[in-house]
Amino acid sequence: MTQTNWNSEAHPARLEERLDDDVVRCHLSPRNCRIRPGQHGFCRVRANRDGRLVTLNYGRSVHATEETIETEAVFHYAPGARILSMGNVGCMLNCDYCHNWKTSQARYVEDKDVHRYTPQEVVDIALRHGIGVISWTYNDPVVWHEFVVETAALAKAAGLVNLYKSAFFITGEAIEELLPVIDIFSVSIKSLDPKYYRRITKGWLEPVLEGTEQVFRAGKHVEVSTLMVTDLSDDEKTARDMAAFVGERLSPDVPTHFVRFHPDYRMTNTVRTPVDRLERARAAALGMGLRHVYLGNVYDTASTDTRCAPCGQLQVTRYGLNADLVGLDAGARCTGCGSPSGLTLLPDARPRERVRELPAGEDLRIAEFAWHGDVRALHVQLRNASAAPARVYTRRYGDQGDHAQDGWEAVDLAPHESFRRIAAKSTPGERGVRVAVPPQCDSTLHQVFDRAHFPTVEAADGTLNGDVSPLPLFRPGTRP
Ligand code: SF4
């Protein structure tokens, strides 16, 4: 059967207003695009077909990927939990530094990067792999509204938790449709400067703040983050403005994350955010009364750990995208003073089986990837080409500490299944990752640059700027 282009099938869209002359208005994002027959909106994934609003990306996703909840700037809900990340194509913004521009900017999307899923298939993948949380993430879930709402409802009915990681340039009426099905909102607020929003993101600020307040007032678990872009938004004023918003319009208890930037898309002629600026931003926000302020995309700092606000007891330690509970009891109370931590804990749905040694006598091919430069996470894509179930293995190597004792993690693949999962550096001494697959399976490795980056190229294709920028390189004026 011939595969059609990713955007060739239209699906009825919600939040439609029908105007005269077959024109429609979209009420999904505050842009409220007015779309003539045959045209599309700013996001290029919602269009007018014969006078009706349709979505062109229903069920179109990047590869479903197992990650950890820390990938989504969520630190106070199920630390260390495995999540199933689902990202689609298109976006209602066009940020100059987007690190998912190959999938968020629909004009650059290639069919090879797009996979097809039904709502039931997404839920089945999570259940089969013992994953308790589905994360709607990467480019931005706002422009995947119909698929997210339908699938999240199915997931919820199956006992799964839904996480929504978004820049949240979305209307209040669309949020009302999310509230019954989404449990966790991780909102990326790019800046508190309206001019910055217009210039850098092509959106505007106030709807983002109003939407964040709306989900917080609805009682949802909310965490907020800000990308601290070198020389643009990595100053203490940005941190103080964020602290004022969180403290006054949300609560000082809302976890707030200042996230390190890497050069990407239209902003490759710059450097990563200096870590000392991030630490100063964190100190400024704590000084204004926020109780939990974290840094993101940084290693070897205590600024990613969770401590008890009343007594200072260490409760969760983190390294990169990995977390260990060290000072919480089963009821999420501090083991130091007994105070409620405010964190929500979930029992790990079904931990993966581990083996000390690979099974003797099995014909397994081993691939290896060494951490280098700023590349400290990897997507491992695993494919089972056979009509029978298969077992593959991954492990970290080079560390003399606790994780060296973990051995090989087993991943069971269904017949003909393709599955992606993250491996992230978990201790300073760890040197890399190994993958072992039987003859009927194969694997490809994809370097991850920072949290919630979905890599579209293989590790073998290399990096840019001394390992701080991912390929592909954006060339202004290019059109596929
Ligand atoms: S989602 Fe936003 S950008 Fe896309 S068509 Fe609707 S209003 Fe326009």
User: Is 53 near ligand 1, meaning CB less than 6 Å away?
Assistant: no
Three-class secondary structure assignment of the chain: CCCCCCCCCCEECCCEEECHHHCEEECCCCCCCEECCCCECCCCCEEEECCEEEECCCCEECCCEEEEHHHHCCCCECCCCEEEEECCCCCCCCCCCCCCHHHHCHHHCCHHHCEECCHHHHHHHHHHCCCCEEEECCCCHHHHHHHHHHHHHHHHHCCCEEEEEECCCCCHHHHHHHCCCCCEEEEECCCCCHHHHHHHHCCCCHHHHHHHHHHHHCCCEEEEEEEECCCCCCCHHHHHHHHHHHHHHCCCCCCEEEEECCCECCECCCCCCCHHHHHHHHHHHHHCCCCCEEEECCCCCHHHCEECCCCCCEEEEEECCEEEECCECCCCEECCCCCECCCECCCCCCCCCEECCCCCCCCCEEEEEECECCECEEEEEEEECCCCCEEEEEEEECCCCHHHHHCEEEEEECCCCEEEEEEECCCCCCCEEEEEECCCEEEEEEECCCCCCCCCCCHHHCEECCCCEECCCCCCCCCC
Q: CA 476, 479, 480 angle in degrees (round to 5)?
A: 135
Ligand 1 atom at minimal distance to the Cα of residue 45: 4
Which of 17, 46, 94, 175 should be mutated for ligand 1, with most atoms under 8 A from CB?
46
Q: Is the CB of 31 under 6 A from ligand 1?
A: yes
Domain residue spans of the chain: 11-55, 60-325, 354-460
- CATH number listed for the domain at residues 354-460: 2.60.290
Mean pLDDT to the nearest integer, 351-367: 92
Which pLDDT belongs to residue 480? 45
Q: What is the mean pLDDT of residues 7-11?
A: 91
Which atom number of ligand 1 is nearest to the Cα of residue 40? 5
pLDDT 10s digits, 183-194: 999 999 999 999
Evaluate: CB of 170 within 6 angstroms of ligand 1. no
Which one of 3.40.710.10, 3.20.20.70, 3.40.50.300, 3.10.620.30 gives the CATH number of domain 60-325?
Answer: 3.20.20.70
pLDDT digits (tens, 9 = 90+) for 405-427: 678 999 999 999 999 999 999 88
| In the predicted structure, residue 400 carries a pLDDT above the cut 70 | no
Least confident window among 2-6, 11-15, 341-345, 380-384:
2-6
What mean pLDDT is predicted for residues 429-439? Answer: 94
Nearest to 432 by CA among 469, 383, 364, 377: 377
Ligand 1 mutation target, pool 16, 17, 24, 29, most atoms within 8 A of CB: 29
State the average pLDDT over residues 441-450.
Answer: 92
Ligand 1 binding pocket mutation candidate from 143, 148, 149 (most atoms within 8 A of CB): 143
Closest Cα to atom 6, ligand 1: which residue? 26
Cβ of residue 433 lying under 6 Å from some atom of ligand 1: no
Give the Å distance between the CA of 257 and the centre of ligand 1: 28
Q: By alpha-carbon position, which residue is closest to atom 4 of ligand 1?
A: 43
How far, in Å, is the centroid of ligand 1 from the Cα of 62? 20
| Cα–ligand 1 centroid distance for 99 (angstroms) | 21
Q: Which pLDDT value is given to residue 403?
A: 57
Q: Return the pLDDT at 345.
A: 95
CA of 44 to the centre of ligand 1 (A): 8
Per residue in 48-70, pLDDT (tens digit) is 999 999 999 999 999 999 999 99
Mean pLDDT of all residues in 299-308? 94
pLDDT in tens, 204-227: 999 999 999 999 999 999 999 999
Ligand 1: atom nearest CA of 143 is 1
Average pLDDT for residues 452-459, to the nearest whole number? 81
Indicate whether residue 93 lines ligand 1 (CB < 6 A).
Answer: no
Mean pLDDT value across residues 380-384: 96
Residue 396, ligand 1, Cβ within 6 A: no
d(Cα 371, Cα 428) in Å, to the nearest integer? 11
> What would the pLDDT profile of 221-254 be if each residue is shown by its tens digit?
999 999 999 999 999 999 999 999 999 999 999 9
Which range has the worst mean pLDDT, 8-17, 122-131, 431-440, 461-470? 461-470
pLDDT of 93 above 90: yes
Assigned token pair, 354: 């581990």
Domains 60-325 and 354-460 share a fold: no
| CA atoms of 284 and 290, how far apart (whole Å) | 9
Q: How far is the CA of 152 from the centre of ligand 1 (A)?
A: 21
In short, whether 345's Cβ falls inside 6 Å of ligand 1 is no
Cα–Cα distances in angstroms (integers) from residue 124 to residues 88, 131, 431, in the given order:
18, 10, 34
- Mean pLDDT across 318-341: 95
Q: How far apart are CA 131 and CA 123, in angstroms?
A: 10
- As a whole-number percent, the residues of the chain with pLDDT over 90 amount to 79
Token pair, residue 90, equals: 């298109």
Please report the pLDDT score of residue 282 as a whole number.
Answer: 98
Q: Taking every pair of C-alpha atoms in the chain, what is the biggest distance, in angstroms?
A: 71
Asked whether the beta carbons of 200 and 264 are under 8 A apart, the reply is: no
Q: List the structure tokens of 380.
A: 């491992």
In this predicted structure, the answer to whether residue 154 has a pLDDT above a threshold of 70 is yes
